[in-house]
Amino acid sequence: MHSRRLRSPDARLILTSVALAAGLLAPVCVSAATYLGSFKGHDYYATSANLTFDQAHAEATALGAALGRRAYMAAITTIEERDFLYCLGLPSSWIGVHRIAGPPLDVYRWAWDSGEPYIYDTDLWCSGEPNDYFGLGENAGLFPWGTMPCINDIQDTLAQAPGGIIEVEPNE
C-alpha cells in the first residue's frame, strides 16, 4: 500500500492556526495524517496516534480546512464501506459515531458526525453492541474491534485508540 503524507509547510501553518483558534491546549498538526485510499469518491486518512475522540475529531476538522473540503470522522454506513476500511488493516480507530441524549442502551440513540442518517445495522456493530459496558458511559465508536470488522462502543475520553479514520468528501 502506498501512502501520502501531508508535508506542505503551508498546510502545517494552517492546521496549527485552526487548532489554536479552536482552543485546543496545544496545536494539532496533521502533517502526519496518512492518506489511506479512496472509496466512492471519498478520500480516507488516518490521524496521528493515541488520541481521544475529541482530539481525532479536531484533526479531521483541521484536515478539512487545510484541504478546503468537508472532513469528519468516518461514517461507516454500508457493508461495502466497512469492508473497504477493514481491508486497510488498521488497528482499532475512532470513527464518527457517537451516542446522543437518551437511554444508554437504546441502540437507536446514536448519530454520525457527518450528519448522515443513522440507521442501526447489526451487520456494522459487533454482536451485542452498542452495550455501554458496565454503565461506563460508552458513547463513541471504534472500528475495527480487534480483528473483527465491526464497531464497538467505548468511552470517548479514553486515549487508548491508536488514532482515527477521517473521511473527506469530494470537491463539488
Cβ neighbours of residue 14 closer than 8 Å, sequence gap 6 or more: 62, 65, 66
In Å, how far are 99, 126, 138, 146, 153 from 134, measured between CA atoms? 16, 17, 9, 20, 12
Tell if the pTM clears 0.85, that is, is over it: no
Q: Which residues sit opposite 153 in a β-bridge?
A: 141
For the segment 69-78, what is each residue's pLDDT rounded down to a tens digit? 999 999 999 9
CA 13 to chain centre: 23
pLDDT given for residue 116 in this prediction:
93
13's grid cell: 501553518
Identify which has the larger pLDDT, 168 or 163.
168
Mean per-residue pLDDT of the chain: 81
Q: Is residue 65 classed as helix, strand or coil in its secondary structure?
A: helix
Domain spans of the chain, in order of start: 9-168
Mean predicted confidence (pLDDT) in 50-56: 88
CA 49 to chain centre: 12
CATH class for the domain made up of 9-168? alpha beta
